[in-house]
Homo-oligomer: A and B are copies of this chain.
Amino acid sequence: MRVGDLSRATGVPVATIKYYQREGLLPHGERAGYNQVSYTDEHVRRLRLVRALVDVGGLSITATSQVLAAIGDAGDNLFSALGKVHYAVTASTREAPESTDRVDELLDRLGWKVKAGNPSRAALAGLLDTFTDLGHADLLDRLDDYAEHAAALAALDVAGLEIRDTKDEKLEATVVMTVLGDVLVSLLRRMAQEHLATGYRPAQ
């Protein structure tokens, strides 16, 4: 198909498609004669994934590029690919957070094996510091309970990967569940908050 067909199939403007190509988010088409470039269903699929990560997942172009590079470079090591995806989407805003020991102790108590270099460790320590700075540290008194329910969600994510057969399918599912899974959990949690906040609801 031509670039115009790719645009119509995905709803993405041609100028945006060219921008994504310049940024390395989408491979170029095959040259098919003078002034013609041809695109395949693989381009449609990749373009839909890029749009989902950017528009729905809220990733930056840089983070999207790193996530897609993790898919491309994965080799046979899916565990390492998962780490790269996590690295791309996890921003740590503090250097040497004070709550580092608290995170280490939490992981010890839970028995979770998490690499020292996983950026979520430092990001969580920084987040705990933020709660403390805001005077809301006690909202996290039940941090272990939060972790247990997060683990139950992660188990669902990992079960989702199990139903994928090939390495490429598992990789794409990893990206989708990591990025869009965050959005899924946030939305479900907000609706449950509204349902549970009955004590704050005005009397009918």
- Chain A residues with CB under 8 Å of chain B are 45, 48-49, 52, 55-56, 58, 77-80, 82-83, 86, 90-91, 93, 107, 112-115, 118, 120-121, 123-124, 126-127, 130-131, 133-136, 138-140, 142, 145-147, 149-163, 172-173, 176-178, 180-202
Q: Do A197 and B121 touch across chains, with their CB atoms under 8 A apart?
A: no
Asked if residues B188 and A146 are in contact (CB atoms below 8 Å), the reply is yes
> How far, in whole Å, are A124 and B173 apart by their CA atoms in the complex?
19
Q: Find out whether the CB atom of A156 lies under 8 angstroms from the CB atom of B163.
A: no
Q: A139 vs B112: C-alpha distance in the bound complex, in angstroms?
A: 24
The CA of A79 and the CA of B113, in the complex, are separated in Å by 40
A191 & B114 in contact (Cβ 8 Å cutoff): yes
* Pick from B82, B140, B150, B187: contact of A197, CB under 8 Å: B82
Residues of B within 8 A of A115 (CB): 194
User: When the two chains form their complex, are residues A153 and B160 in contact, meaning their CB atoms are under 8 A apart?
Assistant: no
Alpha-carbon distance A124/B147, docked complex (angstroms): 23
Assess the B190–A131 pair: CB atoms within 8 A: no
Question: Smallest CB-CB separation from A126: which chain B residue?
Answer: B56
Count chain B CB atoms within 10 A of each CB in A126, A163, A180 and give the residue with the most. Answer: A180
Given contacts A124-B184, A139-B177, A158-B196, could you give 7 more A-B pairs where the C-beta distance is less than 8 Å? A52-B130, A56-B130, A58-B91, A78-B197, A123-B187, A124-B187, A136-B173
A191 x B158 contact (CB < 8 A): no
Residues on the B chain within 8 Å of A77, using CB: 200, 202
Do B79 and A191 touch across chains, with their CB atoms under 8 A apart? no
User: A135's closest neighbor in chain B, by CB?
Assistant: B45
**Is A90 a contact partner of B187 (Cβ separation < 8 A)?**
yes
Whether A194 and B82, one on each chain, are in contact in the complex, defined by CB atoms closer than 8 angstroms, is yes
B157 touches A114 (CB 8 A): no
Chain B residue with Cβ nearest A163: B138
